[in-house]
Amino acid sequence: MSIPASISATIGEIAVWLEAAVTNEAATRITGAASLTSATGSEIAYYDGDGKSADLAAKTSAGAVITTEVGCEQLPPEVPALLVEQPRLAFAHVLERLYPRVVPEAGVHPSALVAADAVIDPTAHVAARVVIGTGTRIEAGAQIGPGCVIGRQVVIGADSRLLAQVTVLDDSLIGARCVIQPGVVIGSDGFGLVREQGAWRRVPQVGRVVIGNDVDVGANTTIDRGALDDTVIDDGVKLDNLIQIGHNVRIGVHSAIAGCAGLAGSSEVGRHCTLGGGVGLAGHLTLADNVHVTGMSMVTRSIHQPGVYSAGTPLDRNERWHRNAARFKQLDRLARRVRQLEKQLGDAPTREEDS
């Protein structure tokens, strides 16, 4: 069941928002949004028109569907369609209109503990039980949700939102229009250790975390401060939930990383990269711009050319997986036998060369 929209609009009005052509009746009032399968006659859905959900599109009872001209042909004839080039993007714009974000009242809650020299813009909102350290600056329109802890000499940029229980430790810088989900920790010490007489000694981490503008950080993600140089998350980066970002990591503009990924210290991710869920990066690696790593891959070497990269063994039936795993162990022996046979054959042409 979808949440009712706080604003309703007719199909015709939505078409104006999107500059979209409409098929069928445009007077129906839309009061919410839902999926193709669950949408009712007063709700709007979207369909990419790529055929993957054609069976769902053919059965939808939505009040209207945002789709392409090709997708429109796969809808029930009575369902109004709004024709656009990028249905999912258009649907996002409609959601922003139907479900506008609630902006809390500016001011500092009486229960907040704010250092005397902290600077909080009059238009900012500081919720209950927030702690703000000395020398920190909260800029115009920023929202600090309940229970957040912000250390010393921190900057929270204009219109950024820390939703709840976010911890931002000393000297961290967060740019404008960022969204930081509950449970995020920014600026914790990196995993810096050195051996001393058979025991581990912690190395002080004296760098910062610097986050650019329009960055999203998902729930319970952690971003370690730099050991010496800064950990840098550049403009437009999108981080999912439960990601570990090690010290001195740098992530280039408009890259996106899915949940449960782990980036070891001093790894660098280029611009416009994507890392799938559960991807691991070993330390001190560099990924070029426009590198896309599929889920559960372990990256142990730098990648210098753009493209799509994968690693790991896909899921299989248990007995077949065990059989293949046993064969993997034989690869080295088989490779040596092949080299030996090649030496015996000398310069004799291979079948591939014959062809």
pLDDT tens digits for 152-202?
999 999 999 999 999 999 999 999 999 999 999 999 999 999 999 999 999
Q: Is 322 within the bounds of a domain? A: no
Q: Look up the CATH number of the domain holding residue 87.
A: 3.40.1390.10
Given a cut of 50, whether residue 353 has pLDDT beyond it is no
Identify whether residues 48 and 116 lie together within a single domain.
no
- Would residue 321 count as lying in a domain? no
Residue ending a domain, among 98, 117, 143, is: 98
Same domain, 111 and 89: no
Please check whether residue 295 lies inside any domain of the structure: yes
Catalogue the active-site residues.
Answer: 247
Kindly tell me if the per-residue pLDDT of 35 is higher than 50. yes
Q: Are 5 and 29 contacting, i.e. CB atoms less than 8 angstroms apart?
A: no
DSSP string of 237-296? -EE-SS-EE-TT-EE-TT-EE-TT-EE-TT-EE-TT-EE-TT-EE-TT-EE-TTEEE-TT
| 227: its two tokens | 């050991």
- What is the number of domains present in the chain? 3
Crossing angle (nearest 10°) for helices 11-18 and 87-98: 120
- Please tell me whether residues 228 and 249 are part of one structural domain: yes
Q: Is residue 315 part of a domain?
A: no
Burial of 343 by CB count in 10 Å (0-12 exposed, 13-18 middle, 19+ buried)?
A: exposed
Question: Is the pLDDT at 75 greater than 70, yes or no?
Answer: yes
pLDDT value of residue 73: 95
In a domain, 150, yes or no: yes
What average pLDDT score do residues 328-335 get?
A: 90
Task: Decide if pLDDT at 27 tops 60.
Answer: yes
3 found inside a domain: no
The answer to whether the beta carbons of residues 310 and 292 sit under 8 Å apart is no
Q: Which residue has the tokens 């869920």?
A: 277
Mean pLDDT of the region 108-118: 98
318 in a structural domain: no
pLDDT beyond 50 at 355? no
Domain-terminating residue out of 49, 77, 98: 98
The string of pLDDT tens digits covering residues 233-261 is 999 999 999 999 999 999 999 999 999 99
* pLDDT (average), residues 139-146: 98
Cα distance between residue 4 and residue 31, in whole Å:
6
Considering the domain architecture, whether residues 83 and 207 belong to the same structural domain is answered as no
Q: Please provide the average confidence, as pLDDT, over all residues in the chain.
A: 95
Residue 127 sits in the same domain as residue 54:
no
Give the N- to C-terminal CA distance of the chain in Å, as an integer: 61
**Distance from C-alpha of 184 to C-alpha of 168, rounded to nearest angstrom:** 8
Domain interval for residue 194 = 107-309
Which of 101, 93, 60, 52 is CA-nearest to residue 79? 60
Tell me what percent of the residues of the chain surpass a pLDDT of 90: 90
Q: How many residues does the chain have?
A: 355
